[in-house]
Structure 1
């Protein structure tokens, strides 16, 4: 399989961990793993770099909208 280096998200961008299906913000890399933080905050998790991909526009919009909706329900 070809490298998706050009498709790898940078720090601060939203990304998907294909192993867990979770979406998070790329916080950095340490020890050969990518560190992701949930979009709505919380504890970071580690993912294998080859399993982390940039979101498509529709996925990113959906993730951001879910956070906004959650915030509006809690009064944030």
Structure 2
């Protein structure tokens, strides 16, 4: 019996600023770039970037996008560093 293994292609690199969910940490971040196969995400309200494996991300839902945009605007209105 032959077993066929389907190889998955790595996800394409998203545009800078794209909101993604890190499914391992259940955390929304803004895509900041790629380096040696790892993606860098940054919290939408500012802060330290973290790395993710591209396969452990997914696009945000409309609800998550609204929450992230609201959090960003609220942080900006408070004068927090972004």
State the TM bucket, normalised to the shorter chain: 0.7 to 0.9
1:8-23 maps to which residues of 2 (within 5 A)? 9-23=14-28
Q: Which runs of 5+ in 1 are unaligned?
A: none
Distance 1:32 1:10, change over 3 A: same
- Per-residue CA deviations over 1:32-75 (Å, capped at 9, x if unaligned) read 11100110111110001001111121210011112323444x35
Q: Which has the larger share of helix? A: 1
The higher radius of gyration belongs to 2
Q: Which runs of 5+ in 2 are unaligned?
A: 1-5
SS of alignment partner, residue 64 of structure 2:
helix
Cα RMSD between the aligned structures? 2.5
Partner of 2:3: none
8 Å contact from structure 2 (residues 38, 54) kept in 1: yes
Per the TM alignment, residue 3 of structure 1 is displaced from its structure 2 partner at its CA by 5.9
